[in-house]
Structure formats: C-alpha cells, structure tokens
Amino acid sequence: MVSSAALPVDIRPELGEGANLVAPERGRWQRAELVSALRGADALIAILRDRIDDELLAAAPNLKVVANVAVGYDNVDVEAASGRGIFVTNTPDVLTDATADLTFALLLAAARRLGEGERLVRSGTWGGWEPGQLLGQDVSGKTLGLIGLGRIGAAVAVRARGFGMRVLYTARSDAPRARELEASRVPLSELVSDADFVSLHCPLTPATRHIVDAAALRAMKPTAIVVNTARGPCVDEAALAEALARGEIAGAGLDVFEDEPAVHPALLASDRAVLAPHVGSATTTTRRRMAEMAARAVREALAGRVPSTAVNSEKVRV
C-alpha cells in the first residue's frame, strides 16, 4: 500500500500487522513518482492535492481502494474508480468541529478586520487608540447565510446560535437538522441579499462551481462578508476580488482558493480579505483522526469488506 504524502501520525497500528506501507519521508510525491510507486499497490492513501484520474488508476491494476484523507473528494474521479471496482473513501465527521471553528475564526477576523489590525501593530506605525480606527461589522444578532447545511454547515449554525444570529440556508432539499437549528431554507437569491455573512459549506460539483459569482456578489449588502472554507472554485475568485476592490462587499475570510496554492493577486493585495492556507481541519487531533480513518478504510477494503466510509459502496462489488 502507498501513501502519496507523509502523514502526521504513524498509521501502521491502524493498518494492521504486516502492513507494507510505502510513503515519502517528508512532503508528498510528484505525480510521476506516485504513478511509479503505485505499480503493484493494492491501496492508496491520497490527499486532496492528488489528482486521482483514470490515467493514474490505470497505472495501478491491483488497486482496491483510494482512501482520501479529506471529507471532500472532488480530486478523485469516483466514476472511473467505480468502473475499475475500486472503493473511494473519505473522512467525514472527524473534521466537522475543527472546520466549523475555523469558519467562525475567519468570519470574526473578517468582520472585525483583524488581519488589518495585526498588520498595523506589527508595522510599528500604530499611533494608539482612536475612535474611528478599524471599524468593522457586528456579528452578534446578524444574519448568517449558509450555502449547504450538511455536517459542517450545521456545526457552523450551532456556533451562530451562540452569537444570537438568525440562520438562513440554501440547499437542494430540507436539511434534517434545520428545525432543531432554527435555520430557514431560502433560495440562493434571497440568501445572498438578506445575509450579513455568506458562508459556503457545499461540496464542489458542477452545480456548485462559482455558486457565488459576480451576480451573487452584486446582490449582497455593501456590508456583507463572504467566508469560504469549502472549496475555492465554489467562489468566482476574480469576481470576489473585484467586489472587494470596488467596495461592493465589506470583506472575505478565505481558507480555500480556486487554484491552490496560487491566490488571485488582487486578493493578496486586498486589505479586506483574511486569507488562510487551507487549514480548516488542521488541528493535531483532527489530522490524526483523519489519517487513522483513512487507514481503517484501507484495512477494511483489503480484508474484503466494504469500507464504512466508502462513497461509492453501491457501485463496487466486493
């Protein structure tokens, strides 16, 4: 079995005795190295930077499982894997709270202009308290619009209730936890125009690519703040940069980008954008749990069972 990247914990105990794990010592393998490591491999532990397409799968004829160390799996061609009888697994639940926490951290940082404040203090040019300095947006009692109310969206809604926020959400169907969370389902057009904060919690699919586009940004309040901890391409990054530059919205808190690790230059230049390097799930405990969960999926698949975290269990025969 192969891991495409060095993991932050030793997963051998989870893989079981005698597991022959081949992994880079540090960092991750480039594609050509991964292709060559995969020859003869029966399992792949992948990270979201790996593009797992049919060409790569074809190079690994013995592969039984691709265990993605992420809840999102838009980097994997699931249809191609299913066609080859390969399970694809992800790491749900274990990262929900960490990601929801980071969402709120970005929301608060953008609302209260903490990035600008930190840069000011570090610059050594701060002249002391002033009544009109770095005035931001209130969070308590405001309206939060969630694009997606799945596990992470719901965990963000739980936090929002602690801030006395009104919660709107948009989704294809009623979310099971909506009533308990007192979240109201509205069309996207209503959500973007009513919300003070718009936060994305949807997977990246053809339907959600650029779900926040120029038109959605234009419909937002000039005081609105966009938070994205889902996937970069869910937001039209160029349109967002332009909306910020023109003052059409007040700020953004971004953990993900359209073409990571590249970031639109206008976002890098924007004082009103708080930027993080895709660290939604980056806590020691969460990353350990994610790695262990991926290892468990490998173990299940290699034992001839359907992995409990398979996303294509209906399409693969054991």
Q: How far is the CB of 190 from ligand DGY (least distance, A)?
A: 28
Active-site residue 289, yes or no? no
**CA gap 149, 185 in Å, rounded:** 9
Closer residue to ligand DGY in complex, CB, 150/280: 280
- DSSP annotation of 65: E
Closer residue to ligand DGY in complex, CB, 72/253: 72
The backbone region for 260, taken as left when phi is positive above 0, alpha when psi lies in -120 to 50, beta otherwise, is beta
**CA gap 33, 278 in Å, rounded:** 24
Rg (CA), the chain: 21
Which tokens belong to 138? 């209130």
Interface map 80-99 toward ligand DGY (x if CB under 6 A)? ---------------x----
Is the CB of residue 306 less than 8 Å from the CB of residue 87? yes
Q: Which range touches ligand DGY (CB under 6 A), out of 66-74, 141-149, 244-252, 297-305? A: 66-74
Closer residue to ligand DGY in complex, CB, 95/311: 95
Active-site residue 31, yes or no? no
Among residues 12, 8, 11, the alpha carbon closest in space to that of 28 is found at 8
Does 70 bind ligand DGY (CB under 6 A)? Our answer is yes
Active-site residue 201, yes or no? no
| DSSP H helical ranges for 46-113 | 54-58, 78-83, 96-111
Which tokens belong to 68? 């993605």
Measured in whole angstroms, the distance separating CA 223 from the mean position of its chain's CA atoms is 24
Is the CB of residue 302 less than 8 Å from the CB of residue 43? yes
Of the candidates 151, 264, 272, 278, the residue annotated as catalytic is 278
Measured in whole angstroms, the distance separating CA 198 from the mean position of its chain's CA atoms is 15
Of the candidates 151, 231, 287, 299, the residue annotated as catalytic is 231
**Which of 43, 72, 198, 264 contacts ligand DGY by CB under 6 A?**
72
Closer residue to ligand DGY in complex, CB, 96/137: 96
Is the CB of residue 156 less than 8 Å from the CB of residue 198? no
Closer residue to ligand DGY in complex, CB, 16/277: 277
Taking CB under 6 A as the criterion, which residues in 275-304 touch ligand DGY?
280-281
Q: Which range touches ligand DGY (CB under 6 A), out of 65-73, 101-109, 175-183, 264-272? A: 65-73
Q: How far is the CB of 74 from ligand DGY (least distance, A)?
A: 8
| Sign of the CA dihedral running 97, 103, 107, 113 | positive
Taking CB under 6 A as the criterion, which residues in 146-165 touch ligand DGY?
none
Q: How far is the CB of 39 from ligand DGY (least distance, A)?
A: 28
**CA gap 155, 103 in Å, rounded:** 10
Q: How far is the CB of 168 from ligand DGY (least distance, A)?
A: 24
Interface map 210-249 toward ligand DGY (x if CB under 6 A)? ----------------------------------------
Which residues fall within 8 angstroms of residue 118, CB to CB, at 6 or more apart?
A: none
Residues that bind ligand DGY in the complex, under the rule CB under 6 A: 48, 70-72, 95, 280-281
Where in the sequence numbering do the catalytic residues fall? 231, 260, 278
